[in-house]
Amino acid sequence: MRILLTNDDGIGAPGLAALREELVSLGEVTVVAPQEPCSGISHSITIHSPITLRKVKDKEGGLCYAADGTPADCVKIALAGLLPARRGGSQEPFDAVVSGINWGANAGMNLLYSGTVAAALEGAWTGILGVAASLERGPQADFGAAAETTRLILERLLKKKLPARSAFSINIPACPLKNIKGVRVSPQSTEFFKETFSCSTLPDGREEITLVGEDKAVPLSDSCELVLLSQGYVTITPLTFDLTRRSFLERLKKWSWVHPACPDP
């Protein structure tokens, strides 16, 4: 089995190391991760400058690649066969793109901002199973437990007949492995957080605005991933690329849409 591993917390993140250590039991693991942390970068890609790639060794001496790009960039580079170790000749395709372990849950509207989730979606878009794993923050958060949980879920997904372009977001609660209550499949919640900003004026007259925190919102449903996560459950949310609001699509088509250059039908 061949797994592409990336994240958005950067090449030196403990979640990446824990997940690599766990996934090597499944087969060949290729690591391509951002050089620096880039949380909240979503699905952005680098188009106005080249991306540099350098070889690094993990603590076990394994070869990894650090890119000065985004998580989606890392996946694109690897799947395009541009890594020096895989360049030229025939290449066996990856069986899965795994992203994480993110430090902090990626639940609710955070999915739209998450570079971790974007990397999994980038892999799924090409037809490869994409899995994003995130660990809830807290004093009992355990990357080892989260990595083992992710491996077990990945193994099961790989054995199933999945829809084309499948991607999943896994969230693991901040507790020891023995205290996890179970696994629940849940939809993404869509409530918003009330964001808090600090503002100040710099000596040169410019305004400096900093996002300093978020107040927890009240979840919309007891079955959403935020509630289940807070109760000690691992959550799995199947993801899709389609942002169309289909329940409103046909109604919108019935409205009279007129362009100045075209006659009204």
**pLDDT at site 233:** 96
Using CA atoms, how far residue 167 sits from 31, 113, 115, 157, 216, in Å, is 19, 16, 14, 10, 26
Which amino acid makes up residue 27?
A: G
pLDDT above 90 for 168 = yes
CA atoms within 13 A on the CB side of 151: 19
The Cα 159–Cα 257 span in angstroms is: 48
What pLDDT band is residue 215 in, cutting at 50, 70 and 90?
Answer: low
**pLDDT at site 245:** 92
- Contact 189/225 with Cβ under 8 angstroms? yes
**For 216-264, how does the pLDDT look when each residue is reduced to its tens digit (9 = 90+)?**
666 567 778 888 998 999 999 999 998 899 999 999 999 888 777 766 5
Residues in the chain: 265
Which amino acid makes up residue 71?
A: P
Q: Where are the domains of the chain?
A: 2-190+221-242
The Cα 85–Cα 252 span in angstroms is: 51
**For 83-138, how does the pLDDT look when each residue is reduced to its tens digit (9 = 90+)?**
886 665 557 889 999 999 999 999 888 899 999 999 999 999 999 999 999 999 99
**For 27-82, how does the pLDDT look when each residue is reduced to its tens digit (9 = 90+)?**
999 999 999 999 999 999 999 999 999 999 887 777 899 999 999 999 999 999 88
- CATH architecture of the region 2-190+221-242: 3-Layer(aba) Sandwich (3.40)
- Contact 222/231 with Cβ under 8 angstroms? no
